[in-house]
Amino acid sequence: MFSTTQTFIALFAIASFASFTSITQASNNEPHCFHLGAKLFGKNLDVPCVHHTDDFSVSFDVVSGSVEMVTSPTSEANLELYSGARVLTPWEDCCPPPSFVRELACPRIEESGECCYTETNVHVTGLPEQSGCVHSVEDYASYVPTGTSRTWNTSNPEANHEVEVYAALHPNGCCECFMYSIPCSPCAL
């Protein structure tokens, strides 16, 4: 029989896990950004226009909640979100200043992950949590990682010499915002 203390601890653990899971799931859907090499990526953006804080002379359209832009490899720029549409004329390229919503800090991440294949499956593990989509080079099908990994069936194992990692999944089902490729080899037995 559970004592009152054991029951309380069990209920607290369950409630804490549920809260953590809800917070984690909510934060995955929150607007965020990150640097990878010489690129800055924005995801889950609910605005039409953004600037990065290294260069206010150029703005960027947000497409399907995502944006990808080239910065310097050492950039620590933040991402500014604007609710107004991009203004693009021969004299300016900007988001309308009165429509400023907020600024997001963009951490720097590194390429990571491993890929191997068997006669029936491709296994990708160790992806950055910012990864939103993986393309198979066998048939260019798109796969959304579960956490930091994904496995899918293959009919031609040797065709999987690499997989492509993208920041986002476009609403049409294709991957968008290319990040990098991971070489694949046969899985160790």
How confident is the model over 143-157, as pLDDT tens digits? 999 989 999 999 998
The number of beta carbons lying within 10 Å of the beta carbon of residue 138 is 19
Q: At a CB cut-off of 8 Å and minimum separation 6, what does 11 contact?
A: none
Average pLDDT rounded to a whole number, residues 11-24: 34
pLDDT band at 158 (very low <50, low <70, confident <90, very high): confident
Tokens (6 digits) for 150: 């994904």
Q: What is the pLDDT of residues 87-136, one digit of tens each?
A: 999 999 999 999 999 999 999 999 999 999 999 999 999 999 999 999 99
Domain ranges (residues) in the chain: 32-109, 114-186
Cα diameter, the chain: 77
